[in-house]
Structure 1
């Protein structure tokens, strides 16, 4: 076996990686790659047995915005091992390689672990941290500017322009340079939940469940007035945010966020991860 990385230009290794990701997680990277969204900021570090990818730890290079300041962040994801190659220490070896490669180069390293591996990442210096979700109550049926439902077949260029030129959604806590991850979510998860707010020139991503809106993202190339967005969401009385809002004109309730698994963070010397924040859903790898 050999350790390989930066191989998305190698068709054989890339397709083997994609097959492993599909087999383990059901992740389909094909259209994401074909449309050019697998950029230089997404890097798999893998063990290859010949031309077959058998274990992997990927990194996403992005930035945190914390209280208006930018910090280098590294999100780890797609940690996987082929069933035939497990219990050989391959994932641990790749994790140590990544940590060595990026030691001192990033302010924060972090990942989202599922419930079955919560005891794995503390061995590498990661600390489990609690997230918090914000919600607000509003008066139903306020009306406002109409939203236009987007279709990928017709509106992909518009979506790309806004995603690649976006400004951080929150100065309190958000991410930047995460366009590749965001486009994966748009292509594979939220295809039927994309809307355009022409007045704010924003892509709005939300679902409605039991009279409440799950607001996943507001993507724009300039700061928006969230109240203008909320006013056009229709007959609802509650909005739950899947990012950290910082519009002081709204009254928020903040409660611990429960996910299937946990957020783990490894901090640089002298740095603290902010409390009472929610990592943006569309930046999760």
Structure 2
């Protein structure tokens, strides 16, 4: 694969986490595209070396970005060193010039064959793009169950992440949590806090009785148990009735549980399709599982 940059005014920049000007450019581009940025996450000390933006700039202005995120997972006792490509974006005024293609070629050339799994998630507008770089679609499955039982008195209470003590206890729990999923992200405080200190800030709950934290989302009659953090394996049947509401009619998991008893499975139907690099079958091929929602980058 040949990678070249024909325009001399363009510059490939990396390892700029602590450069306020380039970081501001990335933040502006992600804000414009996705409605969020990384500044609060950076200021909280969560942006670590395993989050590696690869960006194209011209005269200090960011034109495009694609990031490599180094993540470790466990699957059936096997440790997987993975690289997820994410935050693939191009400034509106720079689209159609091959900038994202160039950055993808850089990252694929760098990481293909250098990790156990190179993968990404793509929305429906770009499903035809990634096969050009050697990626292929892999179907994910989610676990769910219809719900008709009444809620049980809950021992779970909201976590106030603005409270220093509650925040630190939550971070400590993330570090000590054991796998709750078949495909489990090895404890990764920075990535988990990107979500839990961001879009899921009001969705984190703790139970002293169960010695567990959960992230839950209610959407009408649907409850999503996004993730679970506990030092021991948490029996989901023991806690679901404490998390649902009187109107819940379906419970969906944001991960593939260690034990699927009581759950049905179905193909994930979302605007976030999994693509894996390489023609050779990998450890996630043909399995009834999904990457945990909080592991997406």
TM-score (norm 2): 0.88
User: What CA distance in whole angstroms lies between the structure 1 residues aligned with 2:210 and 2:83?
Assistant: 31
Alignment partner of 1:219 is 2:229: yes
How many pairs align? Answer: 283
Could you tell me which residue of structure 1 aligns to residue 259 of structure 2?
247
8 A contact 1:32–1:184 mirrored in 2 = yes
Gaps (5+ residues) in structure 2? 1-9
Alignment partner of 1:105 is 2:148: no
Match of 2:290 among 275, 278, 282: 278
User: What CA distance in whole angstroms lies between the structure 1 residues aligned with 2:272 and 2:203?
Assistant: 25
User: What CA distance in whole angstroms lies between the structure 2 residues aligned with 1:80 and 1:30?
Assistant: 17
User: What CA distance in whole angstroms lies between the structure 1 residues aligned with 2:101 and 2:111?
Assistant: 16
Could you tell me which residue of structure 2 aligns to residue 22 of structure 1?
31
Could you tell me which residue of structure 2 aligns to residue 156 of structure 1?
167
Q: CA deviation digits over 1:114-147, x for unaligned, max 9? A: 1111111000111111111111245623636511
User: What CA distance in whole angstroms lies between the structure 2 residues aligned with 1:94 and 1:177?
Assistant: 29
> How does 1:83-98 map onto structure 2 within 5 Å?
83-98=92-107
Could you tell me which residue of structure 2 aligns to residue 259 of structure 1?
270
What secondary structure is seen at the aligned counterpart in 1 of 2:162? helix
8 A contact 1:66–1:174 mirrored in 2 = yes
Q: CA RMSD in A?
A: 2.0
What secondary structure is seen at the aligned counterpart in 2 of 1:156? helix
Q: CA deviation digits over 1:207-251, x for unaligned, max 9? A: 233343211111223322222222422444531111101225x31
User: What CA distance in whole angstroms lies between the structure 2 residues aligned with 1:102 and 1:141?
Assistant: 49
8 A contact 1:145–1:228 mirrored in 2 = no
User: What CA distance in whole angstroms lies between the structure 2 residues aligned with 1:58 and 1:232?
Assistant: 39
User: What CA distance in whole angstroms lies between the structure 2 residues aligned with 1:209 and 1:21?
Assistant: 26
User: What CA distance in whole angstroms lies between the structure 2 residues aligned with 1:152 and 1:177?
Assistant: 19
